[in-house]
Copies of this chain bind each other. A is one copy, B any other.
Amino acid sequence: MADAKERKILVAVDDGLESLYALSWSLHNLVSQTSNDTIILIYAKPPRTVNTSPDGYLFSPDMMASVDKCRNDLASSIIEKAKKICREQGDKEVKVEVIIESGDPRDVICQAADKIHADVLVMGSHGYGLIKRAFLGSVSNHCAQNVKCPVLIVKKPKSSSSATGTK
């Protein structure tokens, strides 16, 4: 790789182990000792589409605040886990930035990749859970078809129980 190349490596993270494995794989296989890379972690918070209960009554402001707090806590927890992987697993210290947006992960990720002019988008292949995926379609499929930059789709080996990305 050319020296001092500055690259933006956008890594989509979610609450699944596979996205953390993809992050780990990138640190070991894509981040270069001779490049000046920035890992940009992106997390899409599910949109808050419902503020009424199924029977039509509004949830109380307290309840909505509590739901929002849970969503924010989950986002923080995932990002912290991802940052820890960056600190501990990279072969060199790598700059880390974070993007958290609310919305459909397909839109959030594709828009961010184009907006920041990512050099490569990294994601797990089965993010966002089996049930959500059935409704949403595969997020990685969608992004592979729609973002302009190269897309690296990483599967977590079945035998691997930890997010190490090492071989």
Q: Which residues of A contact B (CB under 8 A)?
A: 1-2, 5, 7, 22, 25, 28-34, 91, 119-120, 125, 138, 140-141, 144-145, 148-155, 157, 167
In the complex, what residues of B have CB within 8 A of residue A7's CB? 29
Across the interface, do B29 and A119 meet the contact criterion of CB distance under 8 Å?
yes
Instruction: Report whether A125 and B145 are in contact in the complex, using a CB–CB cutoff of 8 Å.
Output: yes
Copies of this chain in the oligomer: 2
Closest to A165 in B: B150
Interface residue from B25, B91, B144 paired with A144 (Cβ < 8 Å): B144
Expressed in whole angstroms, the Cα–Cα distance for A111 and B146 within the complex equals 27
* Majority-rule SS of A interface residues: loop
Nearest-Cβ distance from residue A15 to partner chain B, whole angstroms: 21
When the two chains form the complex, which single residue of B32, B153, B154 contacts A1, counting CB atoms closer than 8 Å? B32
Contact of A33 with B30 in the complex, beta carbons under 8 Å: no
Closest 10 CB pairs of A and B: A150-B154, A152-B152, A151-B153, A144-B153, A1-B91, A32-B32, A33-B34, A2-B91, A150-B152, A25-B150
| A152 to B149 CA separation, bound complex (whole angstroms) | 11
B153 to A148, Cβ gap below 8 A? no
Query: Which of A29, A32, A141, A145 has most B Cβ within 10 Å?
Result: A29
CB distance from A149 to the nearest CB of B (A): 8
Distance of A29 Cα from B6 Cα, bound (Å): 11
Query: Measured between alpha carbons, how far is A149 from B158 in the docked complex, in Å?
Result: 11
| Residue among A1, A145, A149 with the highest chain B CB neighbour number at 10 A | A1
Query: In the complex, A140→B141 CA distance in Å?
Result: 10
- Kindly name the residue among A32, A34, A119, A154 whose own CB sees the greatest number of chain B CB atoms within 10 A: A32
